[in-house]
Amino acid sequence: MPPTKTVDLAAHPLTKWQGPLGLPDFASIGDGDFSAVFDAALKAHEAEIDAIAGNKDAPTIDNTLAALELAGEPLDHVSSIFWCRAGAHTNDAIQALEREISPKMSRHFSAVSMNEKLFARIDDLYQRRETLKLDAETLRVLEKTWKGFVRSGAKLDADGKKRLANISEELSSLGTTFGQNVLADERDWALFLDEADLAGLPDFVKSSMAEAAETRGQNGRYAVTLSRSIYEPFTTFSERRDLREIAFRAFTMRGQNGGASDNTSVVRDMLKLRAEKAKLLGYGSFAALKLDDTMAKTPKAVHDLLDPVWEKALEKASADQKELERLATEAGSNEKFAAWDWRFYQEKLRTEKFAFDEAELKPYLQLDRVIDACFDVATKLFGITFEEKKGIAAWHPDARTFVVKNADGSERGLFLADYFARSSKRSGAWMSALKSGYKLGNGSKPVIYNIMNFAKPPAGEAALLSVDEAKTLFHEFGHALHGMLTDVTWPSVAGTSVSRDFVELPSQLYEHWLTVPAVLEKHALHVKTGKPMPKALLDKMLAARTFGAGFATVEFTASALIDMAYHARSDAPAEPLEFEAETLEKLHMPDTIAMRHRTPHFGHVFSGDGYSAGYYSYMWSEVLDADAFAAFEETGDPFNPALAERLRKNIYAAGGSKDPEELYTAFRGKMPSPEAMMVKRGLV
């Protein structure tokens, strides 16, 4: 055995951040550094936990709860860099480390959660909580901490604790495998085409495909990849039905192609372990366990939202399909209408109904202009500003760094953004933090980042976005604002540390400002002429906002219903993919629409635990966001200062410091009903 590497956590660049602006010095970090630093940081955190648990003094908020919250800073630092790399810029070495570190971290945190002496101290404080004269935030943190220990097995007997720790470790490893398998399928598949195969494709699609082919060593050719930023526009515009079918089948079969990257058995094992975990902790199903700490609380409440939406969406999609079939017949198609025809004819129908298509909008949605629009809206609403700092090394040369300042010019934190797709990055878009913002102890300023997967243009050309991509940028920036505007004391309730069905409110609400006419008039400038989007085109775009609602709502809600069907059972289905098909049949899922995320590549639910039994939360939050933006519309001013201040204070800055219903009611005065969301989607 090689000797254990000695690591000085007080000086190592992974744990002592001494790069520009207080960032990690990414240039001095090698892939080979992580393993030894993780081991040292885990050991240091374990020693801190033992010291807190073994403290001879009576438990106090300071010596127990605060000490626990502030423990493990070196582990937090190395973890945040590593998981950023694992998602945004991975390689074989990082993936091997991920398979090693995931179960190790799971074992470590299981041991913390099941430390009897530590729980005894937390329990002591919890039982005395009414006599401790705590402020509301501290009381909430104490209650959440106690419940977290109990839900992690603190009250189980020795055998139960051991089994739960093993389950958590296995689930962690399986989640890592699931994500790596999907990435492998996305990375390894490409459909290479020549000029003769590009009928119907606008220049922006050809340009993205040429760049994708070039990065894969096929200069002069064009590649369809499984990145949504290429797949969706290709299947929207390509006149080659045979090629649309090939791309559709590859996209929907990610994670289910047999061989080493097939996720069928991974999902089966995960569902079985989740059901066992719920039973061990005294819950009737894994959904009951996960929903216990949310706004929805029960699977029934989730279905009360999803089921009526599903019925409306099916009606709308059925009516839309008749229109699309008419267009296909008029175009001379004798083929049975299929799933790979939907986007293509839907775009034709948009042109017919609204006299414009997606290709007309793209030149007005330059990536840099949309980024400026995100920043501009944040300045108008919340008074913060953004200043880019060039030449600062991050995890990849594409990542950009911005200093975030308060209205008085003081520094609030940092924002990093990495916008372009590449084979080393997992698909999708997300927000995370290298550091959270909080006041406890010495305090911490937030360092927040956004990851996107937009098609990279050839050198010298501007990146152009679709309306959906521009919305995604606003969405993830809304999450980033939730992290950057946080104004709480305790780390565990900072920023996005809120219930799963509340966390999407700040992000989905922020999307609304993209289509505020004043924002588009200022920032939607033509890539070549620099002129604003003509009012006629802007009006058409706004009129078409709910176009395609049937398709979009069916593909989303099907995924949410399947997620709930898997996890609301007391046991796991023997064959999940058969169960998926049977459930969709019972739901009368149209065979002309695919789930937005089929089971074998449903990363939200199986690449870790994040949105398992929680994919519904996007729609739960949408009920809130539709109602919240209506508050601004009712005033006639989308930037109403008094309302913006209430929004900042109660939604973006409050984190999880109070119950989400209390926070929303403080902003709006009442809780909403789903009607506003149905209207926003164009379903009623």
Catalytic residues: 476
How many CA atoms are closer than 13 Å to the CA of 141, on its beta-carbon side?
Answer: 24
Tell me the C-alpha to C-alpha distance, in Å, between residue 202 and each of 198, 234, 274, 365.
9, 9, 46, 15
Measuring CA to CA, which residue among 444, 422, 421 is closest to residue 433? 444
668: its two tokens: 């709006």
Angstrom distance (rounded) from CA 366 to CA 371:
9
Burial class (CB in 10 A: 0-12, 13-18, 19+), 338: middle
Residue 651: DSSP 8-state: I
Residues 555, 317 contacting (CB under 8 angstroms): no
- DSSP letters, 380-411, are HHH--EEEEETT---SSTT-EEEEEE-TTS-E
The set of residues, in sequence order, having a beta carbon less than 8 Å from that of 97 and lying 6+ positions away, is 31, 34, 35, 82
Q: How many CB atoms lie within 10 A of CB 505?
A: 28
Angstrom distance (rounded) from CA 497 to CA 137:
13
Strands 447-454 and 411-420: parallel
Angstrom distance (rounded) from CA 182 to CA 266:
12
Q: What is the CA radius of gyration of the chain?
A: 25
Residue 583 CA, chain-centre distance (Å), reads 26
